[in-house]
Amino acid sequence: MKNTIIAIIFTVLSISALTSCAQLMESKEKFTKADTLRGSITSPYRTCYDINYYHLDVKIDPKARSISGSNLFKFTATTNFKTLQFDLFENLTIDKIIYHNQELKGKREFNAVFLTFPKEILKGKQDSFEVFYSGKPTVAKRAPWDGGFVFAKHDSDKDWIATACQGVGASIWWPNKDQQADEVDSALISISVPNEIMDVSNGRLVGKTDLKNGYTKYDWKVSNPINNYDIAVNATNYAHISDVYKGVKGDLTLDYYVLPENKAKAETQFTDVKRMLAAFEHWFGPYPFYKDGYKLVETPHLGMEHQSAVAYGNKYQKGYLGRDLSGTGWGLKWDFIIVHESGHEWFGNNITSKDIADMWIHEGFTNYSESLFTEYFYGKEAGADYVIGLRKNISNDIPIIGPYGVNKEGSGDMYYKGANLLHTVRTIINDDEKWRSILTGLNETFGKKTTTTKEVVNYINQRSGLNLTKIFDQYLRYATIPSLQFKQVGKNVEYKWQADVKGFDMPVKLEGESKMIYPTEKWQILKTQKSIDDLKVTRDFYIDQKILKD
């Protein structure tokens, strides 16, 4: 799963501000060349080509825990070049690389592979090459929090296989251009598994072939842009449940693949899917992938937002494995994995951050989607109860935004703090219809694209008519939250902000008052008849509040 981040912003982010922030973080943690090779989105060996299409064709041997196969890369040159980079973990062997019926040799550097072509490829040219590979992929020790394959059993002896690789990257099990900044436009995923089980991957099933060698190949076509880490294997002797949702763009096919022994449970539990779609199409706009459909697939790990094939492992319980993460009771009225992981179809899959340092765009908005789901069905106060209840899980340890260019996420606070940042921003905007139009507008503007914190914040600024940049900066780029300080000066009460961002100013509302107050970094006199001890900011603002004593 992913981390959650949230922000509020007041001014346009300058390049120097971004750079200095990244330098501050990198000074605290040392990164290697391997980190840069994996994480850079500006390397000329990556920016020189735009990936258009993959045909991933993989055979899985569950007994040997090995894989073998190939991936066809179709690309367009964005500049003249002769050498490009793709990625595949070192523990997997590249058997050969074929380019126009000619075998080429790649040069490995850690998990990166540099491929030099016989002659320069000119800008605008569409071309292709195919990588054949094999080996024993990394087996995840604690999926989905670490990456790789999961080889499990169910019903005593039935193979149950899954992949999960968000964060570590899809090159842990298949060759690709492993960065979020360039999503493939479409893909064909061909997975061959023993005859007694079947594979469920992303998109639509377009072919099933008995290979006459004890294996069957399943071909899945993805018609929309997709993150590499979303491409998934799910294989066992699944039972299939089909349904249709009458959505805002017409009929959306719903397909559920579950363990046979859990089919009856699924038919009851998965009613939350239609509730989720109703809420999120209201808040965020149409489900982004009608052409590929929506699937829930039972997995031996907790869950992941695999596009159009959401992984489900919540054991048919309400809440998060039967727990309410907010402690309010609202989180036990719906299945956390169905709601949260499906929320990523809008934020994470439809809208994707270019660099995982900006993963709050995925996790903050999706964690906040849980509150919006609650609000849609149980009312605005219930939604607020839920997101405010999540604050007990916030650490305020390190910034939510990580260092850029090294494949490094920021704090896990991107989830709960991110959600509370967004709730705070909504409260500042103070116009629920405008807020909903911002959420749907984000999906319209950045849908099926990759983006950055700067672009998202600028969009919210533009649509809200407010300059929220400094707010977003404080919550996303620093560990601490702003502190609203009060002090008694004679008969007057004075107040100001204490924050890391220079010039920080954020309006807040006091309990029992109808209007906002506008603290800055300078002391001001508060017009109030209340005593200093009775002053309290309303709960919708995620801040610290202190009374300074002489």
Beta bridge partners of 191: 58, 218
Res 6: pLDDT: 31
**344 annotated binding-site participant:** yes
> What pTM was computed for the model?
0.94
Confidence of residue 24 (pLDDT cuts 50, 70, 90): very low
**Is pLDDT above 70 for 20?**
no
Residue 387 burial class via C-beta count within 10 angstroms: exposed 0-12, middle 13-18, buried 19 and up? buried
Q: In 281-375, at which residue ranges do the beta strands (DSSP E only) sit?
A: 294-298, 303-304, 310-312, 351-353
Neighbours of 64 (CB within 10 A): 9
Q: CB-based burial of residue 433 (10 Å sphere; 0-12 exposed, 13-18 middle, 19+ buried)?
A: exposed
Q: Are 24 and 473 contacting, i.e. CB atoms less than 8 angstroms apart?
A: no
* Burial of 448 per CB tally in 10 Å (0-12, 13-18, 19+): middle
Express each pLDDT in 477-495 by its tens digit.
Answer: 999 999 999 999 999 999 9
pLDDT at position 23 = 35
In which band, very low, low, confident or very high, does the pLDDT at 550 lie, cut at 50, 70 and 90? Answer: confident
Rounded mean pLDDT, 298-306: 98
- How high is the pLDDT of residue 15? 29
pLDDT digits (tens, 9 = 90+) for 180-210: 999 999 999 999 999 999 999 999 999 999 9
Q: Specify the DSSP class assigned to residue 7.
A: -
Give the start-end residues of each E strand in 361-503: 449-451, 483-489, 492-498
Residues 433, 434, 438, 444: is their CA dihedral positive or negative?
positive
Structure confidence at residue 156 (pLDDT): 83
pLDDT at 27 over 80: no
Which are the catalytic amino acids? Answer: 341, 415
Query: Domain locations in the chain?
Result: 483-548
> Residue 145: which region, alpha, beta or left (left: phi > 0; alpha: psi -120 to 50)?
alpha
Read off the tokens for 434.
């405008």
Query: Contact 374/383 with Cβ under 8 angstroms?
Result: yes
Query: Is the per-residue pLDDT at 281 higher than 80?
Result: yes
Q: At what angle do helices 432-446 and 272-284 cross, to 10 degrees?
A: 90
Tokens of 384: 């607020």
Task: Kindly report the number of other CB atoms within 10 A of residue 173's CB atom.
Answer: 28
Q: Which of 423, 548, 428 is nearest to 498 (CA)?
A: 548
Inform me whether the pLDDT recorded for 11 exceeds 70.
Answer: no
Per-residue pLDDT at 129 exceeds 70 = yes
Instruction: Compute the distance between CA of residue 50 and CA of residue 181 in angstroms, rounded to an integer.
Output: 10
Any known ligand binding at 120?
A: no
Residues pairing with 151 in the sheet: 161
Token output for 440: 């749907």
Tell me: cis bond preceding 144? Omega within 30 of 0 counts: yes
Does residue 10 have a pLDDT over 70? no
- Say how far apart CA 427 and CA 527 lie, in whole Å: 22
Please, what is the average pLDDT of the chain?
95
pLDDT at 114: 99
CA distances from 29 to 79, 166, 169, 239, 402 (A): 34, 22, 21, 47, 11
Q: Does 22 have pLDDT greater than 50?
A: no
DSSP state of 274: H
Is 281 labelled a binding residue? no
Selection from 438, 473, 437 nearest residue 454 by Cα: 473
- Tell me the mean pLDDT in the region 32-42: 97
Percent of the chain surpassing pLDDT 90? 94
Calculate mean pLDDT across residues 89-99.
99
Predicted pLDDT at 4: 34
pLDDT of the residue at 28: 59
pLDDT band at 29 (very low <50, low <70, confident <90, very high): confident
In order, the DSSP letters of 316-341 are T-SBBTTB-TTSSSGGGSSBHHHHHH
